[in-house]
Amino acid sequence: MQQPAPDIAPPSAGVAAYLDHLRGAGAASATLKAYGADLAQYERWLDSAGRTPADADVALVRRYAAYLGTLRYAPATSARKLSAVRRLHAWLFVRGKAPADPAAVVPGPRRGRKLPATLNEQEMGRLLEPRRPADGPRALRDLAMLEAMYGCGLRAAEICALRLRDLDRHEWTLRVTGKGDKQRIVPVGRPAAAALSRYLERGRTALAGEGACDRLFVSVRGRAAPRGAAGAVAARAQAHVCHSSPGRRCRSEEHPGVARPRIGRHDPGIHPCKRAAPESRPRAGTPPRMSDDALQIWIQYKQNADPHLRERLILTYAPLVKYVAGRLGTGLPAHVEEGDLVSYGLLGLMNAIERYDPGRDIKFETYAISRIKGAIIDELRSMDWVPRSVRSRAREIERTIAELENKNHRPPTDEEIAGAIGITEEEFQDNLTQIARSSVAALDELWTIGSSGGDTVSLIDTLQDPNADDPSLEMTRTEVRESLATAISKLPERERTVITLYYYEELTLREIGEVLGVTESRVSQLHTKAILRLKAKLQGSLERASLERNR
């Protein structure tokens, strides 16, 4: 009989506010659930010690870290729980709900490092060899899942969460929902598209039957495939590679299989300058000679301009574009997307394939990288509206300032910077004006205002509104009005009546005298006495307020 789950105490006000902050920041439901469980465990431990997160100290957080070590958690689990505690204390400290951040100096558990497992030559051969065609609904499903995970780079949870509407069979793309409910569009390669087509035409109908399940991959009972199904498919593929034996996994002579129309990344036909191992060491100074097969492939492409060969060459060398775009993107502004750089680099790759001459005995990668980099830089320069002279002058000024600071151990003056560059101070000021005009920022760009809280603010919210009231001036006016009202309320009755009728009712001194039954000169005397009393009281109240602010 299953025991009922123990009652979990509701989170404290600080933890509940922090979880609301994460929810407002767009955290996924799984992330909120994990943070809630880890922080609930932390609060239960603090409650047993008679403390709360707001008054915890460094020694207490260290004791909690040691307590996690006694529970025999995996290092990754302990690190995750301590990370939740650190984020909570940092948020409480930034929001002023705690006097200090005790978890900032508490180290996490030391996690061991393992060398990555690699495949030997025989295992790699078994991985690349053609497989026996799938002939059953479940085999068709497993092959489609394996090809989709391998060709599209999907996780087990992502492949099992796919729905039928996520697959576009016209464009052959997949809409994938990843962590944090973020969606992305990934292309489907030819092997994966072929496996998915066979599965949808012959396998899924047999598995789903008349069911209304809208998942792309279904189980043998016609329901949504669990997450473990993708892991089992990958495990069987790994077992085929690492534990294959002639009596169990190798193909029979009746079913030798059909090779896929795919060129491997390291195929000698794609790398015309990769030479086979010579029987004897060549003499120094002998130019490299390409293999006959590689030379024939490139010569055939150059003569016939076969679009299929061109497409296969582009797909094979596409990682070069990703590599060059990643290296160039590190020094560019944040608004330049890496995907745009990849698009510009693909144009350079196609140009390199068209212009490459295999007869020059030059490795294609060396030639293509320079063409890809040049295409990306040319496209960026064409979109940049700032002259190159201004950019170069800005880099020169930055370099000069750094050199003078290292030399003099202080910030340099404008005269020193201009003298080091070799221009006059007026020309230096003109250059600064041109550089300032070249700096463009988006008003809706978010800026982080806290080191650990994660709070952001847009740039437009930081701009001053010239038509808005000055907060300090408005506060001063409010204080003067309150002091004046208090001083008027403490005046004698006849003087308070004179002030009210003269300034609020806008009566003349003669009209006020008729109301009070006195002469106009007497009303003037009462008005003068009231003004003097108010000046004295206001002067004293303002001086006291100034002293309190200076404290």
| Cα–Cα distance measured from residue 424 to residue 91, given in angstroms and rounded to the nearest whole number | 50
Q: Is the pLDDT of residue 287 over 50?
A: no
Please give the Cα distance from 137 to 125 (Å, whole number): 27
Q: Are strands 173-177 and 183-187 parallel, antiparallel or unpaired?
A: antiparallel
Pick from 287, 260, 263: which is nearest to 273 by CA?
287
- Asked whether 210 and 170 are in contact (CB, 8 A), the reply is no
For residue 203, the 8-state DSSP code is: I
Q: What is the pLDDT of residues 478-507, one digit of tens each?
A: 888 888 888 888 888 888 888 888 888 888
Residue 270 — very low, low, confident or very high, per pLDDT cuts 50/70/90? very low
Percent of the chain with pLDDT over 70: 76
How high is the pLDDT of residue 112? 67
Residue 256: band (very low, low, confident or very high) from pLDDT cuts 50, 70, 90 = very low
Q: How confident is the model at residue 364 (pLDDT cuts 50, 70, 90)?
A: confident
Which strand ranges, in their side-by-side order, compose the sheet holding 167-168? 167-168, 173-177, 183-187
pLDDT tens-digit map of 291-328:
454 455 666 677 777 777 777 777 777 888 988 888 88
Q: Report which of 220, 180, 199 is spatially closest to residue 34, judged by C-alpha positions.
A: 180
Going by pLDDT thresholds of 50, 70 and 90, the confidence category of residue 548 is low
**Cβ contacts of residue 91 below 8 Å, gap of 6+?**
18, 21, 452, 453
Give the ranges where 385-470 is alpha helix by DSSP (H): 388-408, 414-421, 425-438
Q: For 380-392, b where at least 16 C-beta lie within 10 A, e where not — what string?
A: eeeeeeeeeeeee
Q: Which residues belong to CATH 1.10.443.10 in the chain?
A: 128-242
- Concatenate the DSSP letters of all residues of 5-33 into one string: PPP-PPP-HHHHHHHHHHHHTT--HHHHH
Q: How confident is the model at residue 289 (pLDDT cuts 50, 70, 90)?
A: very low
167 phi, psi to nearest 5 deg: -100, 120
For the residues 422-442, what does the mean pLDDT come to?
A: 80
pLDDT of residue 255: 43
* From 13-17, 66-70, 385-389, 404-408, the region with the lowest mean pLDDT: 385-389
Residue 143 pLDDT: 86
Q: Strand, helix or coil at 258?
A: coil
pLDDT value, residue 454: 61
pLDDT digits (tens, 9 = 90+) for 113-167: 677 677 777 777 766 665 555 578 888 888 888 888 888 888 888 888 888 888 8
* Residue 43 in this model has a pLDDT that exceeds 80: yes
Q: Name the one residue in this structure whose structure tokens are 């151990």.
A: 409
The pLDDT assigned to 290 comes to 47
CATH architecture, range 13-105: Orthogonal Bundle (1.10)
pLDDT at 257: 45
This prediction's pTM: 0.32
Torsion of Cα atoms, 245 then 249 then 253 then 256, to 10°: -130
CATH architecture of 292-382: Orthogonal Bundle (1.10)
List C-alpha distances in Å: 104 to 49, 87, 100, 362, 455. Answer: 21, 9, 9, 55, 18
- Residues 345, 368: Cα–Cα separation, whole Å: 10
**Segment 186-192 long-range contacts (CB within 8 Å, at least 24 positions apart):** 186/152, 186/153, 186/154, 187/152, 188/148, 188/151, 188/152, 189/151, 189/152, 190/261, 190/262, 191/147, 191/151, 191/260, 191/262, 192/144, 192/147, 192/148, 192/150, 192/151, 192/152
Residues carrying CATH 1.20.140.160, the chain: 385-437, 477-550
Cα–Cα separations (whole angstroms), residue 8 to 18, 40, 81, 338: 18, 8, 18, 46
Helices 137-152 and 190-198, axial angle in degrees (round to 10): 160
Least confident of 250-264, 432-446, 458-472: 250-264
Average pLDDT over residues 349-357: 85
Contact 203, 140 (CB under 8 A): yes
4 band by pLDDT with thresholds 50, 70 and 90: very low
Q: How far apart are the first and last CA of the chain?
A: 69
- Residue 495 Cα to chain centre, angstroms: 69
- In whole angstroms, give the CA distance from residue 273 to residue 414: 55
Between residues 550 and 25, the one the model is more confident about: 25
Residues 347 and 321 sit within 8 Å (Cβ to Cβ): no
Distances in Å between the alpha carbon of 369 and those of 269, 344, 352, 364, 506? Answer: 19, 13, 9, 9, 86
385-437 CATH, one of 3.30.470.10, 1.10.167.10, 1.10.10.60, 1.20.140.160: 1.20.140.160
pLDDT at 45 over 80: yes
% of the chain beyond a pLDDT of 90: 1
Q: Of the given ranges (108-122, 341-355, 502-516), which has the lowest mean pLDDT?
A: 108-122
185: pLDDT strictly greater than 50: yes
Is the pLDDT assigned to residue 342 strictly greater than 60? yes
Helix (H) or strand (E) holding 177: strand 173-177
440 band by pLDDT with thresholds 50, 70 and 90: low
Contact 435, 393 (CB under 8 A): yes
Sign of CA dihedral 126, 128, 129, 135: positive
Q: What is the mean pLDDT of the chain?
A: 77
> What is the CATH topology of the domain spanning 128-242?
hpI Integrase; Chain A (1.10.443)
Query: What is the bridge-based pairing of β-strands 446-448 and 456-458?
Result: antiparallel
More confident residue, 375 or 241: 375
pLDDT number for residue 32: 87
- What b-and-e string marks burial along 58-87, b requiring 16 or more CB atoms within 10 Å of the CB? eebbeebbeebeeeeeeeeebeebbebbbb
Residue 228's contacts (CB-CB under 8 Å, 6 or more residues apart) are: 156
pLDDT, tens only, 8-36? 567 788 888 888 888 888 788 888 888 89
Residue ranges of the chain that CATH labels 1.10.1740.10: 292-382
Neighbours of 477 (CB within 10 A): 12
Class of domain 477-550: mainly alpha
